[in-house]
Structure 1
Amino acid sequence: MTLTVTRREVLADAVVRLTLALPDGRPLPAWTPGAHLDLLLGAGLERQYSLCGDPGETSAYQVAVLRTDDGRGGSRHVHDELAEGATVRVRGPRNNFELADAPAYLFIAGGIGITPIVPMLAEADRRGADWKLVYGGRTLSSMAFAGPLAERWPTRVQLCPQDRSGLLDLDGLLASPSPRTAVYCCGPAPLLDAVEQRCAEWPPGALHTERFTPRVREVEEPDASFELELARSGRQLTVPADRSVLETVEEAGIEVLSSCREGTCGTCETGVLDGEPEHRDSLLTPDERAAGDVMFVCVSRCRGDRLVLDL
């Protein structure tokens, strides 16, 4: 669908918030905290941005975008081209970062990683859960939503600008595993890696993360080719060592919805009917990987000689 930018605001250093609505004011599809939109920016640019407004507000979506001049061009396009009155094609919403039910939550945000967490805070509050947010950034002026969040929940929100407080005290925050606490973390890769390391002794499933960039993979051996069966069409294909599953099925004329092509957005999730996938995404939990019933075909491969997919 195509939405119009009805409002554009500067939230922090290099961060703008866009309010997007249908031109005729019709209600938009519902969403839940943690969901994101795909913005189709033209010239092959497709980027995912977390919804950061109120899920109860059905007339508009809100996204907040940090400008990164050394990135791939998506944020520059948003900042330079999407003024009030501009239109943009979107896909979604879709949620790979759902807020699970828990008696307590520890939210850890770094920089623009606050965006999916903002609506989670209101939902955790609505549920009557015990929760805390620890939010870090380079400077206070770079931290979107910092003022309003601290004003609304002064006893629950801890702001930690690095130039004043140093790095987040993850050792102190995560030293004592809690069976009743769900940990939600979003931000730059070093923060996520550090939180994952410190949550290694926490109960399985306690940690929930969302990555903006793919997880770094340690390459153990060269990729190999494998056979692919597409159950719905009956097609038999060979995935070469130097091609992804997604590229292979696209070259065979089979359409698969995709966006990021790096295992972070979840668009190309595909059911696995037989065979063992080699998961290379940055989305699935250890339990979901062990189940082996879905894979993200833009990056993941096969551990054996053959996969059967629900395509």
Structure 2
Amino acid sequence: MRVTARRNLTPHIVEFTLSPVEETALPSYGPGAHVTVETPSGAMRRYSLVAPGDSPSQYVIAVKREPDSRGGSQSMHDEAVEGTELEVEPPENDFPMGEAPKYLLIAGGIGVTPIYAMAQKLAGDGKEFDIIYCTRSAEETAYLDEMKEAFGDRLVVHHDAGDPDEVYDFWDHFEEPKNMHVYCCGPKVLMEEIEAISGHWPEGRVNFEDFKPVEVIRADDEAFDVELAKSNKTVTVPADRSILEAIRDSGVKTVSSCESGTCGTCKTRLIKGDVDHRDMVLMDEERDDYIMICVSRARSGSLILDI
């Protein structure tokens, strides 16, 4: 697909409109869906689709420049200018909406992207819903004016200025279980809070979208070497890079999709080494012979891989 428009939503969030390079019908999708994009850096990243998805002629995503970016969001901001062509996989939906008499949508920061899509769909269908949208400040609130105009009193916007004492109090919404569905997307601390205060609700009523199910890089990670048996090459994996990223940086072609330890695309045969498995894919009986190079690391010493 080609970047046919880009728009600054906040100082750190850019909206990208992606259109097919060749004239073709794009797959439709439901609210909550995402696409996986090969960013200009080569990193694969998942981004929620913002606009309604019935017979779309283009896909719209919004990308926040992460302060600790390992290449994905930074390269989108710096290199994905109008005219840039990007490989984009068909939409997938791990955060679908179910039928309910009423909905509560909760967004934190860039987590507004799937929530905005859901709100547009619910409004179009005449459904009953409310939105709580939490950010640090108005300046950092993507789609603020559009959402105020579209949803009026159904939208509550809360700015906490980064002060833990000023965060929104959700307890009144969850004290008594209600016959409605809740959809929440945002920072880990927000989703953990909603999960904690909704534990007494019936299963399936409260739903979360989280693109970071595992910590790819941890504070105590250390550098180690990986020997690539087929390529006859040894690559050093820095403390702040994954095996997959280090191999890709060295010029060796890799195959990946989610780069978060959930899809299985980068499954690689392990020849030798003590692995710190961090994925959510491998069966216990596979862990002596395979590794997911997008998230896992050496527990000690070096690794030898069949690459």
TM-score normalised by structure 2 residue count: 0.71
Once residues 152 and 164 of structure 1 are traced to their aligned partners in structure 2, the CA distance between those partners, rounded to angstroms, is: 27
Which residue of the other structure, out of 19, 25, 28, is the alignment partner of 2:26?
28
Counterpart position of 1:106:
104
Kindly indicate whether the alpha-carbon contact (under 8 Å) linking 2:19 and 2:59 is maintained by their aligned counterparts in 1. yes
CA distance in 2, matches of 1:37, 1:23: 16
Per-residue deviation, residues 105-138 of structure 1 (Å, max 9, x unmatched) = 1111000000011111122223332210000001
Letter in 2 for 1:87: E
Equivalent residue for 2:172?
A: 172
Q: Does the 8 A contact of 1:189 with 1:215 survive in 2?
A: no
2:194 alignment partner in structure 1: 195
Q: What are the ranges of 5 or more consecutive residues in structure 2 without an aligned counterpart?
A: 216-243, 245-254, 266-276, 288-307
CA deviations on 1:181-203 (whole Å, 9 max, x unpaired) are 10100001010111111110001
- How many Å separate the matches in 2 of 1:8 and 1:44? 20
Q: Which residue of 2 aligns with 1:299?
A: 280
Give, in whole Å, the separation in 2 of the partners of 1:163 and 1:43.
32
* CA offsets 1:57-79 (integer angstroms, 9 cap, x no match): 52110000001131221100100
- Of the candidates 47, 51, 71, which is equivalent to residue 49 of structure 2? 51
Distance 1:164 1:305 in 2: 43
Count residues with an aligned counterpart: 240
Distance, in Å, in 2 between the alignment partners of 1:26 and 1:259 is 23
TM-aligned CA distance change 1:138 to 1:303, over 3 Å: same
Indicate conservation of the 8 Å contact 2:41/2:72, yes or no: no
- Deviation for aligned residue 1:304: 8.1
For the residue of structure 1 that corresponds to 2:153, the secondary structure is coil
Distance in 2 separating the partners of 1:133 and 1:208: 14
Please say if residues 33 and 116 of structure 1, whose CA atoms lie closer than 8 Å, have aligned partners that are also in contact: yes
Which aligned runs of 4 or more in structure 1 are off by greater than 3 angstroms?
300-306
Structure 1: how far apart are the matches of 2:40 and 2:147? 34
Whole-Å separation in 1 of the counterparts to 2:115 and 2:207: 11
Structure 1: unaligned runs, 5 residues or longer: 217-246, 248-256, 269-279, 282-297, 307-311
- Distance (Å, rounded) in 2 between the aligned partners of 1:267 and 1:96: 16
The question of whether the paired residues in 2 share the 8 Å contact of 1:150 and 1:159 is answered with no
Q: Percent identity?
A: 33
Q: Give yes or no for contact 1:16–1:66 (8 Å, CA) kept in 2.
A: yes
1:145 aligns with 143
